[in-house]
Structure 1
């Protein structure tokens, strides 16, 4: 059994959600002043950090907090897998703009914008001697990072693994990409992202950014936050690059694998991926119905609050599940229009993530 150890899900959530409202960018919930100061202080703490993208700085800060809380400070042998859907988006866009206007770019452009940049800099910052891995599997990236960590642990190739995701996609070109697909929120609502609202008549995806890191080990420990008692993964055949089948077949398979022999009635809640799009939210709900029938667990998501943080989103969903287990409180959607039936207790929560390319991951976390 894999555990999420020692108060070790550390999140640095920019939650600076932007959408177009009258042609202006509107801030919903900006990074706190303390965290802004921490990011700036880190950026100027060493000359070489000045050239790093926010996605790397977020990952470093969140990783520092995670190993401190987990008590890993004196151990340098842990592995690292921190992924990102987009990587150094801000730096890449700025450097490309400079190249278009001048025909030149600076010497730091290539090393500072590679995807492996994130885990490598975290390993450097933490003085880790274990393996460091970066990858992109779009919006299921951070849960795939946990899967990778579990694989290394189960293979006996590592005793501890730092896993998660980091994303800083609040850039003009990235937002333009979402708008081109006609999935971005137009605002004008108390909740511009109505993730999980199956009655919505328009797409309401809103971007957020941040990092989420967790420390995982094998076995049981007194300081464990929760246990990963099941995990599943699947990829479905696609008709085009961003499609998800109407019944989200990949999520059906990943949920079945994660649930395993656990009786369905023992699943108390599901933290949905639910990006806030009509097709995406409804496909996932249909997949859940296919698995659970009429006896659905409580369903929720956090993207109405955090925005969609791409590769970080899965680990932030795990955080929500862990918090609900810790506090024995189901956190529902504010706009569902129906009172939430609170389970007598929360013991088992399923967490979903799925990204472009039909790559789904499900984790069953238990108290």
Structure 2
């Protein structure tokens, strides 16, 4: 694709977030740079009988920032988060869809991905059915639990009649959203795509299942230091919740509407691969993850020596962090020891289907502001395996022109997206 084909280059013009360390994008970014932890004892349900009692919860969130109370009562929490982050992103972009013609609306779409959708609707509906009978089950339960309803609600709010897409790929879900947005813009058929991910699966049954799998940190007495990617004392990830969205436009559309000053970064490339190995464990050599990074860089027309920052999947599990490090070494060769790497999960926990979306905000923020967020709690790297530059504990001033985000999901799903500084 010619570099001067601005109609087919995808740029980011707005950000939105709801996270355990801030319910808007600026607060999230400031706290991420400060190394603030969002992990604490669980308050949303009784953890008696659970081995794990900590999580990264969204706090003081009001769904009516993006919808009226009636809709809020009918919709699931993941929809609340997705709507709030999308609304913020649209506002930050300066887009006003109110006077758009039907033809322009046909050229705008939504990609909002999730891992679990409205899981609480199944749990609550089953309880109502058993206790009160079939006649008392909410008629809104099916729309509210549907994973696609987050994207649909965003499209209805802004009356966008282009594609409405929801992909479910476990913890890789929202990285895939950026690939889909990029492909839509590259097609030349679309001008605007609201893209991201939302997750609100922090429920007793999911929490118990992951705990019984041995995936979660049991550092109950020291929650703020429980998520410690690449550290030798890590013992599992911290369950989190939240959402993030970005507004992606064709560069031509952004420039023609006078929003050149709002362009934060370019979505330059993306790729997907599969390990085809195990339902939850990564393939030990990291081959699939490395191939995803290599293909994403190729798609962006970027060499490994041009990458300044990797926002790692970095889950704080014994298997992932070693495997991801191996994958980075395989994809980047000697450059692996020169590139900065960090993991937002050290502060916000693992947002599952929304993890890639909050990672994207970290990548975009680094390009915009020249700061790389740290890997909090990294005190003793797990040598000799985890021996790269993980930006331990303290943010770092650096010029970032190109950053990639990694998202690796259960089932061996690997997704990588490339962001770079936009130059017309």
Q: After alignment, is 21-30 or 79-88 more displaced?
A: 21-30
Do residues 255 (structure 1) and 293 (structure 2) align? yes
Cα distance change, pair 154–344 in 1 and its aligned pair in 2 (3 A): closer
Where do residues 152-163 of structure 1 align in structure 2 (5 Å cutoff)?
Answer: 152-163=184-195
Write the mapping of 1:39-50 to structure 2, written as runs, cut at 5 A.
39-40=63-64, 45=68, 47-50=70-73
* Offset, 1:181: 0.8
User: TM-score normalized by structure 1?
Assistant: 0.89
2:179 maps to: 147
Q: Secondary structure at the match of 1:9?
A: strand
Match of 1:226 among 254, 258, 265: 265
- CA shift, 1:185, in A, is 1.1
What does 1:13-52 correspond to in 2, within 5 Å?
13-14=19-20, 17=39, 31-33=58-60, 36=61, 38-40=62-64, 45=68, 47-52=70-75
Kept in 1, the 8 Å contact 2:227–2:349? The answer is no
CA distance in 1, matches of 2:162, 2:207: 36
Q: Matches of 1:90 and 1:323 in 2, distance apart?
A: 33
Task: Decide whether aligned partners of structure 1 residues 192 and 92 sit closer, same or farther in structure 2, where only a CA change above 3 A counts.
Answer: farther
**Matching of residue 300 in structure 1 with residue 332 in structure 2:** no
Spell out, residue by residue over 1:128-157, the C-alpha distance to the aligned partner (whole angstroms, 9 max, x if none): 222212221111111111211222222223
Distance 1:131 1:276 in 2: 36
| Cα 1:366/1:41, change in 2 over 3 Å | closer
Structure 2 segments unaligned to the other structure (5+ residues): 1-7, 22-37, 381-388
* Cα drift, residue 22 of structure 1: 7.9
**1:352 to partner: Cα distance:** 0.6
Partners in 2 of 1:82 and 1:103 — Cα distance?
34
Q: TM-score, structure 2 length as denominator?
A: 0.78
In structure 2, relative to structure 1, the CA distance for the partners of 1:317 and 1:18 (3 Å cut) is same
Q: How much has 1:315 moved relative to structure 2?
A: 1.0
| Number of the residue aligned with 1:355 | 409
What corresponds to 1:194 in structure 2?
Answer: 227
107, 122, 128: which one pairs with 1:98? 128
- Is the aligned partner of 1:213 residue 2:211? no
Question: Could you tell me how far apart the structure 2 residues matched to 1:365 and 1:171 are?
Answer: 33
Shift of 1:14: 4.2
* 1:71 paired to 2:94: yes
Distance 2:55 2:113 in 1: 26
Change (3 A) 1:18 1:184: farther
Residue number among 12, 15, 22 corresponding to 1:5 in the alignment: 12
SS of equivalent residue, structure 2 residue 406 = strand
